[in-house]
Homo-oligomer: A and B are copies of this chain.
Amino acid sequence: MAARTVKLAVIPGDGIGPEVVAEGLKVLSAVASGHDLAFDTTEYELGARRWHATGETLPDSVEAELRGHEAVFLGAVGDPSVPSGVLERGLLLRLRFAFSHYVNLRPVRLYPGVTTPLADVAPEDIDMLVVREGTEGPYAGMGGVLRKGTPHEIATQDSVNTRFGVERVVRYAFAAAARRPRRKLTLVHKDNVLSYAGELWQRVVREVGAEFPEVSVDYLHVDAATMFFVSQPQRFDVVVTDNLFGDIITDLGAAIAGGIGLAASGNINPENDFPSMFEPVHGSAPDIAGQGKADPTATVLSSAIMLDHLGLSGAARAIERAVAEDLLARAKDGLSERSTAQIGDAIAERVAGQG
């Protein structure tokens, strides 16, 4: 019997989700033996197929079952056969909100050997941690439509920002910054235009920052931040930002760090009142689904974030090391033709080999 058994809910989801999740689980199996771990997994069929069959995105009963797990491991959600937003809001965002995933953790790191679209950038130039708020902002879904279909139609979309919600994520971000060598926190917002929300974010950063005098604080408007992501990524250490700005800059972050095939994320409830959820930043990519073309590395790296969250940092580091080795091997040996499963196998072997 393993010393620790993790009760893990698995949602392969849509598109390439099942393919990349299979590789993620393969690597988790490989790391388990060497670290005296076991994963007790339950798979949930949620996503487009279920919606077509039953009209359900996330039945209450399934939400309740998921709640009984230590973590949720998710592939991807979304399919062109389903109206835009139905699965995203009904499943993915519903889980983030229901499980208070107020920290959406997205490391942006350029691994050695990985090609970036930026000229003149070395791996040490891109090493940031984006702490994206995950439970409010424009993602709250508030707003509405008046006089739909008439020339006088009005559609509103409301960003909701609470002291409670902003403070908890800002405090998390400061604590994360305090643990990193550079100890720098950059707030990204647009306070010269979004004045109500921006003033709250600024004030909370000021007040919580007083508890972390060792962390230096910077502020950038979101538009300027996108510019610096490509012209001066060295500028960033920890970034804290709202749900929508975080969505945008982390896709850009993925792009500069070698592409969406490598970008990992954790939807975290730091208090463990609810299971946290780990998923690659990429979506379901229906155009390449079922062809073994997807890179499972983002999913594998998301599993490392999961292990860290579960306190299993030895296993997390083992996976990250294996991924780093595999990425270097790709650069050296030109391994561009490998299938999803071959990449998963290669990483799993390296993990096992470290044992």
Contacts and interface: CB of A to CB of B under 8 A. Distances in A.
A158 interface: yes
Q: Which 5 A-B pairs have the closest CB atoms?
A: A223-B251, A153-B163, A226-B252, A227-B255, A119-B119
A193 interface: yes
Interface in A149-165: 150-164
Contacts of A194: 138, 143, 157
Tell me the number of copies of this protein: 2
Contact of A192 (B85, B159, B190): B85
A118 interface: yes
Contacts of A155: 161-162, 196-197, 199-200
A270 interface: no
Contact of A88 (B88, B156, B193): B193
A233 to B, nearest CB: 10
Contacts of A68: none
Given A143-B197, A222-B248, 16 more contacts: A84-B191, A84-B192, A85-B193, A85-B198, A117-B119, A118-B230, A139-B193, A151-B164, A152-B162, A153-B200, A154-B162, A154-B163, A156-B196, A193-B247, A223-B247, A226-B248
Contacts of A256: 230
14 contacts: A84-B192, A85-B193, A89-B195, A93-B193, A117-B230, A138-B159, A143-B159, A144-B196, A152-B164, A156-B161, A157-B194, A226-B248, A226-B252, A230-B252
Contacts of A223: 247-248, 250-252
A259 interface: yes
A335 interface: no
A157 B151 contact: no
Contacts of A254: 227
Contacts of A117: 118-120, 230-231
Given A195-B89, A231-B117, A247-B190, A143 B158 contact: yes
A260 interface: yes
Nearest to A85: B192
A51 to B, nearest CB: 14
